Amino acid sequence: MARFDILLADDDADIRLALELLLQDAGFNTRNADSPAALRHAVQEKQPDLVLLDLNFSRDTTSGREGLALLPELVAAQIPVMVLTAWGSIELAVQAVQLGAWQFLTKPWDNQQLLALVRQQQQLKQLARQHRQLSALQQTPAADWIAQSAPMQQLESLVQQVAATDANILILGENGTGKSVLARRIHQLSSRSQAPLVAVNMAAIPETLFETELFGHQKGAFTDARQARIGRFAMAEGGSLFLDEIGCLPLALQPKLLRVLENGEYEVLGSSRTEQADVRLISATNADLTTLIKQGQFRQDLLYRLNTFVLELPPLRQRPDDIAPLAEHLIKLFSQKYRKPIAKLSAGAMQQLHTYHWPGNVRELSHLLERAVLLCQQATIEDVGLPVISADVLSEQAAADNPLGTEPQELNLQRMEQRLILQALQQSEQQLGRAAELLGLSRHALARRLEKLQIHPEQL
């Protein structure tokens, strides 16, 4: 983990040097700021664990207004501040404490007293981290993580084993299976749960911006760099970085990511200073990386660094025991979001969910139930609005009906739907309830489709 980071804000270079030597020798990391502007910039670059703040800078050496003006900003950012003041301005130190400063020391300070106070703040931070970890353990991490089916129970067992480590993890799975949910669960079960989880969708970043997105840039690094930008590795310091759609990473940038994974080193664009990353990398893809390697689009050595441990999320069609609890969770979630009474799925609606093939996986289920909650006007959802037969099933059925691969004479969804309904009506001898059951629909949903298709059972 990163060392305790202390920002020294004083206009006197000798004071800063003395503090720097003392604190670094004690194992702390230090940074310097010689003005209010430099302090604000340093905090924006990376939030320190503690600020040692002089109240008087070179522009104003007596009133302490410059230091006092900075205090509300630092306190609002939840950064502990220790004020350093001369003997003649104790009243200013008291005023600073009233404004939120954690402690104050007089100049010249006692080295052992200063170190004791710094270590006290370090211990307070560690206690706060432990408290957050305990709270996380007492709660259910990733509330939308449903793992009741046998395949998900097997995956959960693996997650419990690897989450507590710092091993890089590669998550595989079809679109919509919940890879980001799994990444969040891994982070919440890890020792880094108190630090940020920063997610990046690699497929959504223009190729020219990948480097600055991951590593950041300095002001003036290129034509449009009007201000400095913090990269995702710096944002995730001490925590986890989730790179979704990792297969979209440009080949030219892959060596730089490989370097970070090998030794933690990278450079901000426009800077010659080498930074050290302290992040746990979780990546995900639905692409076949082995095929991309054969095509020369992905580095094999990078894959070896990414897949220290591989977790594969099963598609929803392979985990039917999770459909009901997922549906209940999503309905509750969307009911709260839209401030509507929590509805229940009818037996027919639940049957629809269980007979559908789910080509879009959990994401498709989520979108479908969100629409159902919005449209529901009663206490029960009778129809979730699924097509009678999914596109995947149509494709499989077409292949089975046409084994030689010749072009089918007809592939019209509405006509196939009509044909299936007519077949169900014939098998049920025009009994709507029985026909609806055969089709996996509610009676109400079948009646709506009969009206739409202008089918009249009494005339059959």
pLDDT in tens, 208-234: 888 898 998 888 888 777 787 888 998
Residue 139: inside a domain = no
How much is the pLDDT for 126?
74
Q: Peptide bond preceding 108: is omega within 30 degrees of 0, i.e. cis?
A: yes
- Domain stops at, among 312, 334, 363: 312
Q: What CATH number is attached to the domain comprising 107?
A: 3.40.50.2300
How much is the pLDDT for 172?
95
Q: Write the pLDDT tens digit of every residue in 254-294.
A: 999 999 999 999 998 888 888 889 999 999 999 899 999 99
Confidence of residue 377 (pLDDT cuts 50, 70, 90): confident
- How much is the average pLDDT of 35-56? 89
In a shared domain, residues 127 and 162: no
Nearest to 201 by CA among 107, 105, 289, 286: 286
Residues contacting 283, CB < 8 A, separation 6+: 168, 169, 170, 171, 242, 243, 244, 246, 306
Residue 137 pLDDT exceeds 50: no
In a shared domain, residues 105 and 189: no
Confidence of residue 458 (pLDDT cuts 50, 70, 90): low
Dihedral of CA 135/140/145/150: which sign?
A: positive
Residue 143 pLDDT exceeds 60: no
Residue 138 pLDDT exceeds 60: no
In a shared domain, residues 291 and 176: yes
**If you average pLDDT over every residue of the chain, what do you get?**
83
Please count the structural domains in the chain. 4
- Domain stops at, among 107, 133, 159: 133
Residue 141: inside a domain = no
Residue 98: inside a domain = yes
Residue 290: inside a domain = yes
In a shared domain, residues 172 and 238: yes
Confidence of residue 171 (pLDDT cuts 50, 70, 90): very high
Q: Roughly what angle, to the nearest 10 degrees, separates helices 413-427 and 443-453?
A: 120
Residue 134 pLDDT exceeds 50: no
Residue 413 pLDDT exceeds 70: no
Residues contacting 414, CB < 8 A, separation 6+: 453
Residue 441: inside a domain = yes
Q: Write the pLDDT tens digit of every residue in 51-67.
A: 998 877 765 555 667 77
How much is the pLDDT for 394?
45
H helices of 166-317, in order, are 179-188, 210-215, 232-235, 254-263, 289-294, 300-306
- How much is the average pLDDT of 142-153? 83
In a shared domain, residues 177 and 308: yes
Residue 142: inside a domain = no
How much is the pLDDT for 260?
93
In a shared domain, residues 191 and 301: yes
In a shared domain, residues 176 and 305: yes
In a shared domain, residues 293 and 353: no
In a shared domain, residues 297 and 343: no
Beta bridge partners of residue 361, listed in sequence order: none
Rounded Cα distance between 87 and 107, Å, is 7
Q: What CATH number is attached to the domain comprising 280?
A: 3.40.50.300
Q: Write the pLDDT tens digit of every residue in 69-103.
A: 888 888 888 899 998 877 556 677 778 888 888 88
How much is the pLDDT for 89?
67
Domain that holds residue 57: 5-133
H helices of 240-346, in order, are 254-263, 289-294, 300-306, 323-337
In a shared domain, residues 57 and 99: yes
In a shared domain, residues 271 and 342: no
Rounded Cα distance between 277 and 293, Å, is 27
Q: Own/partner pairs for 69-76, CB < 8 Å, 24+ apart?
A: 69/36, 70/9, 70/36, 70/39, 70/40, 71/96, 71/99, 71/100, 71/101, 72/99, 72/100, 73/40, 74/43, 74/100, 75/99, 75/100, 75/101
- Domain stops at, among 355, 386, 417: 386
In a shared domain, residues 356 and 424: no
Beta bridge partners of residue 267, listed in sequence order: 274
Residue 119: inside a domain = yes
